[in-house]
């Protein structure tokens, strides 16, 4: 008898999928992904983990053979879901065989990885159907054996023993879920319409990068700084690549974007690595780096989007219809944010973790490494970094213009084998570049709390052009609107994640064009932290709402960047919390207080204070960091996913671009890249206020309502501020 794994979809002309076909495809795909991982895995029992994967793949859908489920799959009964949860049967069988890790993967393959403490209380079984499944298990196995077993050529011994850490279990789970989701997408015609990803071709791309650098050197003229940049590039591209974790403790203007990439390519060629990740601060504008890499690294005949993937949002979708919009890490060079990267490592959900299997055997560049995460999350992130280096053959470079050596603190040193990290920048070159930094900016403090109206008037008195970085999206938008009344229309630009990536790119290009026109000084850029790190901008004056020492030093890198002026000011200010346009960022309360104390004590603001500031912040956070690390050691997957939040809010992807919204409503083809470029992330409270509906075609994706305001100046905050204006004036929204 023919058993089914997937029912037909007559509307989309999708036929049924046989159970045998799906099981074999998941088994073959899972083996393929895991064998790629095993090329780089160290100290793993390859036979054991391969057997764990095979058992999970073979029995993950055993419960679909239940007769009630088969009747639904055959179309005899019309219901939205299978009447009997299909994971429990496979779990029951694998537990009976003492294949506990395989049972865990099957238990989680739709629900997500659980906390082991919950398993101690409730077990992996589904209590509501456990008795029914136990009664019919022998019949299900008989159906499975007659259908699947003859088609499986080889079978490894059942005895499996392997000590795996939480990160390793996530990695095995990634192989299984990517195989399962991938085959489901193929069978239902929902696969992403892309070909086979290009290879890294590290040696060839290194030569291409060299040629690109030589061309830039010819156009850049001769100066001490340019010569040092060239020397740094050569040192990186020819470096010995034996260290699993290195640092690039280089100040502003070193050319880290291309120099560190040359090191990563050199390392990848020598170590046989398969992929390079560039991780930028979680709210950073990554387009600038992507443009550079695509210009320098793409070979003739290649599609630039396929070679260098640009991933702004973490957009993961559990619903089968929406999975094709999930961005995967399958390009040879992936440029993404710390949010997307580290929250994937922390995830327990199948949709997010399916991309993790692409990480082993990679070189990873953590740009602005000290600022990539809230301080309280760094200890656990450091554990993951070390484990990926020692167990998955990953090679890391931690870089910054003001790098805090956090790994040297007591809170990071437990069981660490990476205590002394080599610097890519030679000592002599570093000293010369640091000399440029001594008088580049002057830090000043304005202790009086200002309203946004007061701030706008005060900014008008400063030397322009001015960059202003504020602590929340809401405050930045409200401040930009207030400043426009003072500076005049067109003399205030605004950048934050309230704008789509496409609109942020347009605004950033406009900012650069204005900066190049030295005669234009009476204007300002008001932004969030998305511009304070890794963006090649140079303003006359900087203003930073009090946040943290690390953020302040990052902003200083956007002021007088090339020492055009003898000295330039970088101000730290505080805002009046009673102003209706000002919203607080609770995560910055501790770090901002520490920074205020430094100013009040007359301490010199410099990178030398970074380690002290970070240590104070970690210790004042209490036991959170230690508890998080303990949860990781106890396989508390759900707890880690819940607590390890780079941005502490609940947000959802909302498609803004009206043409893209129309195509989705008309059921026309769209890609994940188009959705990314035309979308923003909306908090739940804003969604409720603006009554934003979810797409029926792509569950999990919000569609910006027709008539709701959005502008290339303030983004979706146009609608939010308008709503607040109405409420303040006593209007009712109906």
pLDDT tens column, 29-85 = 999 999 999 999 988 888 889 999 999 999 999 999 999 999 999 988 888 889 999
**Phi–psi pair at 346, nearest 5 degrees:** -90, -10
| 192 located within any domain | no
Q: Is residue 622 part of a domain?
A: no
CA atoms within 13 A on the CB side of 478: 23
Residue 290, domain CATH: 3.40.50.300
pLDDT at residue 318 greater than cutoff 70: no
Q: Which of 187, 220, 246 is the last residue before a domain boundary?
A: 187
User: Are the beta carbons of 148 and 20 closer than 8 angstroms?
Assistant: yes
Do 38 and 182 fall within a single domain? Answer: yes
Crossing angle for the helix pair 202-220 and 224-237, nearest 10 degrees? 170
> Token pair 């699993």 is at which residue?
244
Is 357 part of any domain? yes
Contact 367, 256 (CB under 8 A): yes
pLDDT of 323 reads 41
Q: Please report the DSSP string for 348-390 in residue order.
A: -SHHHHTTGGG-TTEEEEETTGGGSS-GGGHHHHHHHHHHHHH
Q: What is the DSSP secondary-structure string of 251-271?
A: -TTS-HHHHHHHHHHHHHHHH
Q: Categorise residue 584: left if φ over 0, alpha if ψ from -120 to 50, beta otherwise.
A: beta
The pLDDT-based confidence of 317 (bands split at 50, 70, 90) is very low
Task: Please tell me the distance from the alpha carbon of residue 355 to that of residue 363, in angstroms, as a whole number.
Answer: 16
Residue 468 lies in a domain: yes
For the stretch 238-281, pLDDT in tens is 877 788 999 887 766 667 888 899 999 999 999 999 999 999 87
- Lowest-confidence pick of 232-236, 523-527, 634-638, 676-680: 232-236
Helix (H, G, I), strand (E, B) or coil at 564: coil
Whether residues 414 and 449 share a domain: the answer is no
Mean pLDDT of 439-448: 88
Q: Tell how strand 651-655 and strand 4-6 pair up.
A: unpaired
More confident site: 574 or 726: 574
Are the CB atoms for 170 and 353 separated by under 8 Å? yes
What are the φ/ψ torsions at residue 168 (nearest 5 degrees)? -70, -40
Beta-carbon neighbour count of residue 547 at 10 Å?
22
Out of 605, 636, 664, a domain closes at: 605
pLDDT reading at 437 higher than 80: no
Q: What is the pLDDT of residue 9?
A: 82
The CA distance from 621 to 589, in Å, is 11
Residues 393, 509, single domain; the answer is no
The partner residues of 654 in beta bridges, in order of sequence, read: 680, 702
Q: Which residue shows structure tokens 């953020």?
A: 551
Residue 306: count other Cβ atoms within 10 Å of its Cβ: 17
Mean pLDDT, to the nearest integer, of 9-38?
91
> Is the CB of residue 328 less than 8 Å from the CB of residue 355?
yes
Is there a single domain that holds both residue 483 and residue 544? yes
| The total number of structural domains that make up the chain | 4
Q: What is the pLDDT of residue 142?
A: 93
pLDDT in tens, 102-146: 999 999 999 999 998 888 666 888 889 999 999 999 999 999 998
* Residue 567, pLDDT above cutoff 70: yes
What share of the chain has pLDDT > 70, as a percent? 88
pLDDT confidence of residue 425: 72
Residue 340 has pLDDT above 50, yes or no: yes
Question: Are residues 324 and 240 both part of a single domain?
Answer: yes
If DSSP states are collapsed to H, E and C, what string results for 617-679?
HHHHCCCHHHHHHHHHHCCEHHHHHHHCCCCCCCEEEEECCHHHHHHHHCCCCCCHHHHHHCE
Instruction: Give yes or no: residues 257 and 333 share one domain.
Output: yes
Burial class (CB in 10 A: 0-12, 13-18, 19+), 563: middle
Higher pLDDT, 347 or 9: 347
pLDDT one-digit tens code per residue, 383-415: 999 999 999 999 999 987 767 788 888 777 666
Both 426 and 450 in one domain: the answer is: no
391 with 457, same domain?
no
Q: Are 575 and 551 in contact (CB under 8 A)?
A: no
Which region among 59-68, 319-328, 627-636 has the lowest average model confidence (pLDDT)?
A: 319-328
Least-confidence region, from 188-192, 303-307, 374-378, 670-674: 188-192
pLDDT at 653 exceeding the cut of 50: yes
Dist. CA 24–CA 17, nearest whole Å: 12
Residue-level pLDDT at 697: 83
Q: What is the pLDDT of residue 158?
A: 52
| Whether 182 and 71 share a structural domain | yes
Domain annotation covers residue 635? no
Burial (CB < 10 A; 0-12, 13-18, 19+), residue 219, is exposed
**Cβ-contact 452, 482 below 8 angstroms:** yes
- Say whether both 235 and 319 belong to one domain: yes
- Which of 402, 434, 466 lies at the terminal end of a domain, its last residue? 434
Question: Two tokens at 110?
Answer: 């739709």
What are the pLDDT digits (tens) for 473-532? 999 999 999 999 999 989 999 999 899 988 998 999 999 999 998 888 999 999 998 887
Question: Does residue 504 form part of some domain?
Answer: yes
Same domain for 67 and 139? yes
Q: State the virtual CA torsion across 499, 504, 506, 507 in degrees, nearest 10.
A: 90
pLDDT over threshold 50, residue 316: no
Work out the average pLDDT over 342-347.
94
Asked, for residue 615, whether it belongs to a domain, the answer is no
Pick 37 or 707 by higher pLDDT. 37
Q: Tell me, what DSSP letter sits at residue 419?
A: -
Q: Is the per-residue pLDDT at 155 higher than 60?
A: no
Taking the C-alpha atoms of residue 473 and residue 686, their distance in angstroms, rounded to an integer, is 12
Average pLDDT over the chain reads 86
**And the tokens for 439?**
């008088």
CATH of the domain at 112: 1.10.3210
Residue 731 binned pLDDT confidence (cut-offs 50, 70, 90): very low
Q: Could you list the residue range(s) of the whole structural domain that residue 707 is in?
A: 651-728
Tell me, rounded to whole angstroms, the distance of Cα 542 from its chain centroid: 28
Residue 193 within any structural domain of the chain: no
Mean pLDDT, range 660-685, rounded to an integer: 86
Which of 31-40, 310-319, 410-419, 676-685 is modeled with the greatest confidence?
Answer: 31-40
Is pLDDT of 297 > 70? yes
How many CB atoms neighbour CB 386 within 10 A? 20
588 and 524 share one domain: yes
Q: Are 618 and 410 in contact (CB under 8 A)?
A: no
Question: If DSSP states are collapsed to H, E and C, what string results for 586-606?
Answer: HHHHHHHHHHHHHHHCCCCCC
């Amino acid at each position: 008898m023919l058993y089914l794994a997937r029912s037909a979809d007559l509307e989309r002309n999708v036929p049924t999928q046989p159970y045998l076909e799906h099981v074999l495809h998941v088994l073959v795909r899972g083996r393929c992904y895991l064998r790629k991982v095993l090329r780089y895995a160290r100290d793993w029992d390859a036979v054991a983990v391969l057997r764990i994967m095979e058992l999970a793949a073979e029995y993950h859908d055993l419960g679909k053979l239940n007769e009630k489920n088969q009747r639904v799959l055959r179309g005899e009964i019309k219901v939205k879901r299978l009447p009997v949860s299909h994971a429990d049967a496979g779990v029951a069988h694998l537990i009976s065989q003492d294949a506990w890790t395989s049972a865990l993967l099957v238990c989680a393959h739709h629900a997500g990885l659980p906390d082991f403490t919950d398993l101690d209380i409730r077990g992996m079984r589904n209590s509501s159907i456990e008795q029914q499944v136990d009664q019919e298990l022998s019949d299900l196995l008989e159906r499975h054996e007659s259908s699947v077993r003859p088609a499986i050529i080889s079978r490894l011994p059942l005895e499996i023993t392997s000590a795996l850490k939480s990160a390793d279990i996530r990695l095995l789970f990634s192989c299984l879920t990517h195989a399962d989701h991938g085959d489901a997408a193929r069978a239902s015609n929902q696969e992403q319409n892309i070909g086979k990803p290009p290879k890294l071709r590290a040696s060839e791309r290194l030569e291409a990068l060299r040629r690109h650098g030589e061309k830039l050197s010819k156009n850049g003229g001769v100066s001490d700084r340019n010569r040092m940049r060239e020397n740094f590039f050569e040192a990186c591209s020819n470096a010995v690549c034996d260290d699993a974790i290195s640092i690039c403790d280089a100040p502003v203007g070193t050319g880290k974007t291309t120099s560190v990439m040359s090191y990563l390519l050199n390392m990848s060629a020598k170590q046989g690595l398969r992929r390079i990740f560039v991780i930028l601060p979680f709210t950073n504008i990554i387009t600038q780096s992507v443009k550079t890499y695509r210009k320098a690294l793409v070979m003739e005949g290649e599609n630039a989007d396929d070679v260098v993937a640009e991933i702004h949002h973490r957009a993961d979708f559990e619903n089968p219809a929406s999975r094709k919009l999930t961005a995967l890490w399958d390009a040879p060079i992936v440029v993404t944010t710390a949010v997307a990267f580290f929250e994937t490592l922390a995830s327990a959900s199948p949709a997010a973790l399916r991309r993790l299997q692409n990480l082993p055997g990679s070189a990873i560049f953590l740009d602005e490494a000290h600022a990539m995460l809230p301080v309280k999350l760094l200890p656990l992130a450091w554990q993951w970094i070390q484990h990926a280096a020692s167990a998955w053959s990953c090679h890391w470079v931690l870089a910054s213009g003001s790098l805090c050596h956090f790994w040297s603190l007591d809170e990071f040193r437990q069981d660490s084998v990476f205590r002394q990290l080599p610097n890519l920048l030679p000592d002599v070159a570093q000293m010369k570049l640091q000399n440029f930094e001594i008088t580049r900016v002057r830090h000043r403090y304005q202790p009086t709390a200002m309203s946004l109206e007061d701030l706008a008037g005060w900014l008008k008195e400063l030397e322009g052009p001015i960059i202003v970085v504020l602590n929340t999206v809401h405050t930045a938008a409200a401040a930009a609107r207030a400043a426009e009344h003072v500076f005049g229309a067109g003399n205030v630009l605004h950048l934050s994640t309230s704008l789509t990536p496409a609109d942020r790119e347009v605004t950033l290009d406009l900012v650069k064009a204005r900066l190049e026109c030295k005669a234009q000084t009476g204007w300002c850029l008001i932004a969030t932290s998305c511009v304070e790190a890794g963006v090649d901008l140079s303003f006359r004056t900087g203003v930073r709402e009090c946040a943290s020492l690390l953020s302040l030093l990052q902003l200083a890198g956007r002021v007088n960047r090339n020492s055009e002026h003898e000295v330039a000011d970088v101000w730290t200010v505080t805002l009046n919390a009673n102003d209706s346009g000002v919203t607080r960022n609770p995560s910055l309360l501790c770090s901002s207080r520490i920074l205020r104390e430094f100013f009040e004590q007359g301490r010199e603001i410099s990178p030398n204070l970074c380690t002290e500031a970070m240590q104070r912040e970690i210790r004042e956070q209490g036991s959170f960091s230690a508890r998080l690390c303990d949860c990781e050691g106890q396989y508390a997957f759900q707890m880690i996913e819940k607590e390890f939040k780079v941005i502490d809010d609940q947000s959802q992807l909302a498609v803004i671009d009206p043409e893209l919204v129309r195509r989705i409503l008309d059921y026309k083809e769209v890609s994940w890249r188009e959705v990314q470029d035309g979308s923003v992330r909306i908090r739940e409270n804003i969604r409720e206020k603006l009554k934003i509906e979810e797409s029926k075609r792509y569950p999990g994706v919000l569609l910006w309502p027709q008539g709701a305001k959005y502008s290339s100046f303030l983004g979706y905050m146009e609608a939010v501020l308008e709503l607040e204006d109405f409420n303040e004036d006593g209007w009712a929204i109906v």
